[in-house]
Structure 1
Amino acid sequence: MTWKCALFDLPFGGAKGAIAVDPIGLEPAEYERLVRRYARAMAPITGADTDIPAPDVGSGAAEMAWMMDAAPAHGAGWGAVTGKPLALGGSQGRAAATSLGVASVALLALERAGMDPRDATAAVHGFGKVGRGAALELARAGVRVVAVADVRGGLRADDGLDIAALAQHVDRTGSLIGFAEADAIGSVDVLTEPVDLLIPAAVEGVITHENVDRVKARIIVEGANGPITSAAETALRHRGVDVVPDLLANGGGVVVSYFEWVQARQGWWWDVVDVEERLAQRMRASWQLVAHRATADGVDLRTAATAVAVERVAAAVRARGSEG
């Protein structure tokens, strides 16, 4: 998170925290108590001017509302937590921010490769908060999304999936399973579809040394954190596959969390068009910086992104000086 915030030129640091529990099977009231207890335990180190919690895997607006409400004595105010419901000072566009960021960077990667989105095919592994929105945005841009997967299975259609209709099916049934306008395949099979663009947007470590030789995509954009192991990425690099790292690709969420914090501190909220335009500008600027660095230094995109981020943090540390 420190490097991601530096890459997007956000005045945040970064850390991750979580509760080691499977929420499936917990009663709703028990789950809420668990989140609130966690928030109270973290309260001494969180607040609008110290450490600002934001949602990630397994959390969303409801959890952030409970966290803000559970520890008002420590950093009270709308800026103490991001990813909140709109009714509690959340930002327009926050829920879709990561998806929009992933899709925008994916389209920029296609452009860099000299590909027209209308001629490109894509597969999306994961149809949750990130993958679903990214698939919708890619389809709107003309990309033919031919395969998607969730935890229960996958779907493919050579002529392209109707992502909007599929999203409605998932809303009704809770899963991709049973969608009549596509062929059923295994969830992991989506990773090895012969497509131009692959977006692993589910969990970490899904592309490994065991299946990397079967991955056929020309471009991989990491919607999830760490979906490619280091050994697999080395193999992909040797084959000339462009990997857009999570550091850059899925940064839309933290960018709009920053926007939410800014709005809360000002007491002035932007409309969704403003939020999405500002997000697009940040994503494009960071992409251009990384792509230029990769070309100039003759390195892969992950190395370029990391170099930019580390150099920015190092410059800030040096600028603060030393007490000797």
Structure 2
Amino acid sequence: MTAQPQTQDSFAEEYKALEKKFNALKPEVEVTLKDEMAGIEGYLVVWNTGISVGGPLEKSGKGGTRITPTVTLDEVKMLARTMALKNAAAGLPLGGAKSGLKANPDAPDFEKKYRRFAQLMKPHLHENGGLYGGFGFDIGARPIHPKWICDELKSTRCFTGKPVEMGGTDYDKEGIAGLGVATAAVALLKTKYKQVKNATFAVQGLGAMGAAVIRYFSEQGAVLKAISDPKYGGTYVFKDPVSPELLKALSDMDSKKVNELLATGSIEPTDAADVLYQQVDVLFPCAVHNVIRDDNVEKIKAKNVVEGANGPCTDTARAALHKKGITVIPDFIANPGGIIAAFVELTSKVTPEENAKTRAKVNEAKQITIARITANIEKLMKLVSAQGIDTVKAGRYMAYKNIFEGVK
């Protein structure tokens, strides 16, 4: 007998019950790690490792390491909770986790501090019997960090996103998270409009995420209309097609070349926030959280917003955008590329030597990222249509189902 489609009333009841269970979850690990003599304070939070039971990384949660002078336990707790949704929505048998170190990553004594923090974290690492899957890239990370920490802890399993020759996927350099966000936009546009070619887009934030979005979305025939980043002096709106030279410099994060090319043009930069208010097919906020809020949401003119940063839209702003008819793909659906790559690093049987020759882990991570995110966007939009709900609720439902019923 064919199963009957779920009614909107029964869906609403199920969603409410799942959300209540999720909101009742408590962190399994919530610790502050200190060495007052060394001036070190850091944090670790791990959620819902039950989802990983029976998987290749049993009883573990995963998320990157945020390094800023102002990071707090509450911030790490919020980020770890978002990782619980992101990992589950991506179909990964991994709990949510995040670590944080209160420090300036560019300070002269930072290496010494980070190495000491790694020692404080050592007992909590999954390879040592703890619940944390390991360090990873986030705000404040630098390419040298995996080498320091893997050396300090005498292990290459303790840090994901490391170079290919160390057995990693180099996901920041490869832009795998940005590939995922671009893929989410491609799948969304194909679902709504059947094509991507000549779709216009704007990007706020030109770090690893924003640069990769420009690279991969442009490769699909989309047209860059605006960029913004403090290091380039504000927002640039392009009336003419962006030159291949500038696109490459932006994609390569070659800030010197970008500044040279922008300086030779006739465009004067405007306020950094102006990028958010451009009339484009897709807006990618890839900078920091809460840039689209109650006080500016009415200025948003994009047809679609695909979140590259963690929490760039407040919950109330997301709801307001939905009311305006603007489709929002939330961060936990759009940007699991980094965590997919981390999962591949930790579970692949490919040796570092073979990986260095073939880039097998990089290729696998990219393939899985494209496949998972494309399928998730299609599923998300079907749920939105069938149940008359917004994309955020649909995405949360998908994540909740995996958290409480297991990854299928």
| TM-score with structure 2 setting the length | 0.70
CA distance in 2, matches of 1:181, 1:200: 24
Give the residue type in structure 2 aligned to 1:171.
D
3-state SS of paired residue (1:117): coil
CA distance in 1, matches of 2:149, 2:244: 34
8 Å CA contact retained: 2:348, 2:361: no
Corresponding residue pairs, total: 311
Cα deviation for residue 271 of structure 1 reads 5.8
CA distance in 2, matches of 1:176, 1:123: 18
CA distance in 2, matches of 1:155, 1:149: 6
After superposition, give the CA deviation of every residue in 1:57-86 in whole Å (9 maximum; x if it has no partner).
2214422232222223xxx4x333211122
After superposition, give the CA deviation of every residue in 1:265-300 in whole Å (9 maximum; x if it has no partner).
877641644432232112212222222222222211
Give the residue type in structure 1 aligned to 2:301.
K
Deviates more, 1:149-158 or 1:192-201: 149-158
Change beyond 3 A, Cα 1:123–1:173: same
Match for 2:338 among 237, 253, 271?
253
CA distance in 2, matches of 1:163, 1:286: 32
8 Å CA contact retained: 2:249, 2:257: no
CA distance in 2, matches of 1:93, 1:208: 30
1:281 aligns with 2:403: no
Change beyond 3 A, Cα 1:278–1:260: same
3-state SS of paired residue (2:100): coil
CA RMSD of aligned residues (A): 2.5
Change beyond 3 A, Cα 1:167–1:119: closer
Deviates more, 1:289-298 or 1:213-222: 289-298
8 Å CA contact retained: 1:144, 1:159: no
Change beyond 3 A, Cα 1:284–1:266: farther
CA distance in 1, matches of 2:391, 2:196: 20
3-state SS of paired residue (1:80): coil
Match for 1:173 among 249, 253, 256?
256
1:116 aligns with 2:199: no
Cα deviation for residue 182 of structure 1 reads 5.8
Deviates more, 1:234-243 or 1:175-184: 175-184
1:59-138 aligned at under 5 Å gives the runs: 59-72=141-154, 76=155, 78-91=156-169, 95=173, 96-114=175-193, 116-138=195-217
Match for 1:162 among 233, 237, 243?
243
1:213 aligns with 2:291: no
Give the residue type in structure 1 aligned to 2:372.
R
Give the residue type in structure 1 aligned to 2:86.
K
Change beyond 3 A, Cα 1:264–1:81: farther
Cα deviation for residue 116 of structure 1 reads 2.8
Cα deviation for residue 165 of structure 1 reads 1.9
8 Å CA contact retained: 1:198, 1:217: yes
CA distance in 1, matches of 2:330, 2:118: 31
8 Å CA contact retained: 2:309, 2:331: yes
Change beyond 3 A, Cα 1:124–1:163: farther
1:296 aligns with 2:386: yes
Q: Determine the structure 2 residue equivalent to 1:192.
A: 277
Cα deviation for residue 8 of structure 1 reads 1.1
Change beyond 3 A, Cα 1:199–1:36: same
| TM-score with structure 1 setting the length | 0.88
8 Å CA contact retained: 1:2, 1:14: yes
Q: Determine the structure 2 residue equivalent to 1:320.
A: none
CA distance in 2, matches of 1:153, 1:223: 19
8 Å CA contact retained: 2:161, 2:171: no
% same residue: 29
Change beyond 3 A, Cα 1:99–1:195: same
Change beyond 3 A, Cα 1:7–1:193: same
8 Å CA contact retained: 1:166, 1:176: no
8 Å CA contact retained: 2:170, 2:362: yes
Deviates more, 1:176-185 or 1:80-89: 176-185
Cα deviation for residue 259 of structure 1 reads 0.9
Give the residue type in structure 2 aligned to 1:90.
G
8 Å CA contact retained: 2:340, 2:368: no
8 Å CA contact retained: 1:79, 1:264: no
Cα deviation for residue 233 of structure 1 reads 1.6
1:28-39 aligned at under 5 Å gives the runs: 30-39=109-118
Give the residue type in structure 2 aligned to 1:275.
A
8 Å CA contact retained: 2:341, 2:362: no
Could you list the runs of 5+ residues in structure 1 that have no partner in the other structure?
318-324
Could you list the runs of 5+ residues in structure 2 that have no partner in the other structure?
1-82
Cα deviation for residue 261 of structure 1 reads 1.1
After superposition, give the CA deviation of every residue in 1:67-115 in whole Å (9 maximum; x if it has no partner).
222223xxx4x33321112222212656311010010111111112215
CA distance in 2, matches of 1:298, 1:316: 25
CA distance in 1, matches of 2:306, 2:187: 11
Change beyond 3 A, Cα 1:94–1:186: closer
